[in-house]
Structure 1
Amino acid sequence: MKTDNQRLVNGVKILLDTAPLYGNIVMNLNRRADSTLKQPVGLLWQKHQWYLTFNAQLLEERLPKDDEIALLLAHVALHVIWQHPIRYQQRTAKKLVKLGTDLAVNQYLPKDMGILPGAVTLQTIFNLTGKLLAAHQDSAQYIEWLAALTNQDALPDGDQNDNHDSWQSATGHIAEATTALNEVVRQAVEDTPQSGRGNIDSEIVRQIEKVQTRKRHWQAILKAKLSQIPHRKRESWTRFNRRQPYRMDLPGQVSAQSAKIVVFIDNSASISDQLAGVFLSQIQQIAQQFDTNIDYFMFDTQVHPIHHIHDWQRHAGGGTTFQSIFNLLSERRYKPSQTLVVILTDGEGEKATVNTKFKQVYWIMPTGAHLSLVDPVGHIITLTMDEYNGA
């Protein structure tokens, strides 16, 4: 939806100029205005995506300078880099979690941009409790130290400009939300030239490398294949305009590939609920990364369309027949030269050779699984343990 908040866009533009990596992390988040938000900004998991939510009125009231908004957005980007919205889903000590995570990230805010109003620092804790905590520690260490203090009543609640409560929106969707959050970081790194990354602390570099080293075998293969096909652009009001980020009145753009991707999800009785959840988290990344023409189906001995993948609820079926997939592709007149077929399965099915003209087929399977087909067509790709665990 279109918004008219120029202050947020001003902050993004400043951040792109002064700390491009942080700016690109923000740029790769969807955005949503929320006048009910109790703090100026927040991170929200909704409809299989991460959103930067913002309250325009509170931004205006609490952060009168655009540089201050830029610092707040850098604060949010650092929470993303350290995966705080994922790591602290089940913690009951919300005050300590908020304070510990804010203490951790605020030490890495760009120093040449001034001071973020209301930011808690190590000096804040020392002034209130007389306890001097060591610098540059992980948030978990700060939470442990804060929990050991005898005068916890003197502690603040953390920064007042960042809503942590919305992190809980990812509860129950950890694998999918983790994959999506890591993809925001990976894409931001790709969008930021090495020469334009500025002076980034070595601890941040190491944390980003942890995210980048997680393999994306099958997504990378699809990307390589799709890159060979001409594509067009379409407008999206949930993205910043990359060419003119200071213009909130202009929509962003996402690629709309010309190829067709057809995804088939194994719905047979041999698929556990856990594996079904992994498959769902994986296919959500297809839509987010490629934004091409995608059709979704589930299959066992028969194939059934999934009309709304975001609302799909699994109901375990019976056996598995892979030939039914290729029969449907022919019946619906998909073109083999323009169709990428993605099949997420545990590999258990018939042992015959399938009859098909489709060659661009990608079998996505969990670690240790084996495809029952004799001489299968296409590529067999094993999910890494990180992908399987959603880590």
Structure 2
Amino acid sequence: MNAEDRDKLIVDGIKTLLDVAPLYGNVIMNLARENNDTASNALSLKWQANQWHLVINPILLTTYFINHTQIALAFAHEALHVIWQHPIRYADERIKSPNLIDWGTDLAVNQYLPIALGMLPGAVTLQTILGLYGKMLPIEQDSAEYIALLSELTENQPARGPKPVDGHGDWASAGQGIDEATSALNFVIEKATEDTNRSGRGDIGTAVLKKIASVTAPKRHWQAILRTGISQLPTKKKASHSRFNRRQAYRLDLPGSVSEYEAQVTVFIDNSASISDHQAGVMLANARQIIQQFDVEVTFFSFDTTVHEIKNIKQWQRQAGGGTQFQSIFDTLKVRKFNPKHTVVVILTDGDGEETVLSTKFRQVYWLLLSDHKLSILEPFGKIMNL
């Protein structure tokens, strides 16, 4: 099969999944796409450059799965790993017992593949375990439960039988930035859910919908509100080959598009002594998500009683400072001549600072407070939200 035929088969698989199970298809559409003819697996999920990538080896994919229906099932399998958050749940643990985790996670997701598309070739199922070990495991359990049951059956020895249909080894790539990777994976789920609400979910089980709700319900408000605020400013589109073209998904040569906002966004990260390293990590992970979710000009700062520009947010290492003074943020914006009408100010903080009224003309301000914290200033303005 030549490259053109492989590309057509893969695109037909994506189109089929979008038709039969739009939720799964939109999860795939919201992942960054990377084609790699030398990848060791047909499909894998990898955390790289602050976003989640779906790595596709077109040669292996079209060798293992010979028609568009099977390829659609393979993509649905990856989407379910995302929905069940397996790449972050097992980023570190998979090194300890890879076979058990590979089988346990696959058992959990393969029960929710679209029935209308048939069976996924090579899939590990409950019947697979019954045939190998003579024991029927309970249906619709979480991967952790299956891993525990498999551990008893195999006595922690490598499991016999087929290998996973995809690669799970790249899940370990999230281990060094788990907070940021978690936030990014959840955003993929949230965005896919928003996209799907316009067209219907298709062939999706109740358990999957409950899992989606557990991810989206408590964590989407500040991002949605910030998106609304930025979207009120003039926007334009730019081409991006890291996204599928939504109008013509069958054309791999056509880039997709992402919104490019003309607003200036300034992000201030609380670096005062009251912030623990863990809290700093949470704020940093959320701050980095802004540049992933919006194509805007973003300037990053840290602050305590003074403000310091962060030249490279990906490499920034915090060093705890002293007290907290919110007024220093707005003084810095004025000195650096940011325009109050076109500047969005995002402040990640525990909220513990001065109580006095702040002096500023900036009103497009978003206070992102750590969980269960309140803002200390007596006359707050802007929008106050919790991470």
TM-score, normalization: structure 2? 0.92
1:330 paired with 2:328, answer no
- What is the rounded CA distance, in whole Å, between the counterparts of 1:166 and 1:158 in structure 2? 19
- What is the rounded CA distance, in whole Å, between the counterparts of 1:74 and 1:217 in structure 2? 27
1:180 paired with 2:181, answer no
- What is the rounded CA distance, in whole Å, between the counterparts of 1:299 and 1:135 in structure 2? 51
Q: Percent identity among equivalent residues? A: 52
Q: Which residue in 2 is equivalent to 1:34?
A: 36
Q: Which residue in 2 is equivalent to 1:103?
A: 107
Deviation at 1:218, TM superposition (A): 2.3
The 5 Å alignment of 1:223-372 reads: 223-372=227-376
1:142 paired with 2:142, answer no
- What is the rounded CA distance, in whole Å, between the counterparts of 1:290 and 1:339 in structure 2? 14
- What is the rounded CA distance, in whole Å, between the counterparts of 1:162 and 1:89 in structure 2? 16
**CA deviation digits over 1:250-290, x for unaligned, max 9?**
11111111222111111222221111101011112222222
Distance 1:202 1:158, change over 3 A: farther
Are 1:129 and 1:154, in contact at CA under 8 Å, matched by a contact in 2? Answer: no
Gaps of 5+ in 1: 384-391
Please tell me the residue identity of whatever aligns with 2:382: G
Deviation at 1:203, TM superposition (A): 1.0
Distance 1:129 1:32, change over 3 A: same
Please tell me the residue identity of whatever aligns with 1:59: L
Secondary structure of the structure 1 residue equivalent to 2:52: strand
Are 1:39 and 1:58, in contact at CA under 8 Å, matched by a contact in 2? Answer: yes
Are 1:175 and 1:278, in contact at CA under 8 Å, matched by a contact in 2? Answer: yes
Distance 1:156 1:242, change over 3 A: farther
Are 1:95 and 1:157, in contact at CA under 8 Å, matched by a contact in 2? Answer: no
- What is the rounded CA distance, in whole Å, between the counterparts of 1:158 and 1:279 in structure 2? 42
- What is the rounded CA distance, in whole Å, between the counterparts of 1:320 and 1:353 in structure 2? 14
Q: Which residue in 2 is equivalent to 1:64?
A: 66
Are 1:300 and 1:320, in contact at CA under 8 Å, matched by a contact in 2? Answer: yes
Q: Which of 198-207 and 281-290 deviates more?
A: 281-290
Q: Which of 243-252 and 293-302 deviates more?
A: 293-302
Are 2:190 and 2:220, in contact at CA under 8 Å, matched by a contact in 1? Answer: no
**CA deviation digits over 1:191-237, x for unaligned, max 9?**
01365311311111111111121133322221222232231111111
- What is the rounded CA distance, in whole Å, between the counterparts of 1:240 and 1:156 in structure 2? 38
Q: Which residue in 2 is equivalent to 1:386?
A: none
Which of 13, 16, 19 lines up with 1:14 in the alignment?
Answer: 16
Deviation at 1:151, TM superposition (A): 7.3
**CA deviation digits over 1:53-100, x for unaligned, max 9?**
122221132222222211110000011111111222332221011001
CA RMSD between the two structures: 2.1
TM-score, normalization: structure 1? 0.91
Please tell me the residue identity of whatever aligns with 2:225: I
Gaps of 5+ in 2: none
- What is the rounded CA distance, in whole Å, between the counterparts of 1:367 and 1:154 in structure 2? 42
Distance 1:153 1:356, change over 3 A: closer
Which of 163, 167, 175 lines up with 1:163 in the alignment?
Answer: 167
Deviation beyond 4 Å, 4+ runs, structure 1: 150-154
Q: Which residue in 2 is equivalent to 1:191?
A: 195
Are 2:353 and 2:376, in contact at CA under 8 Å, matched by a contact in 1? Answer: yes
Are 1:84 and 1:101, in contact at CA under 8 Å, matched by a contact in 2? Answer: yes
Q: Which residue in 1 is equivalent to 2:120?
A: 116
Distance 1:277 1:102, change over 3 A: same
Distance 1:194 1:361, change over 3 A: closer
- What is the rounded CA distance, in whole Å, between the counterparts of 2:99 and 2:56 in structure 1? 21
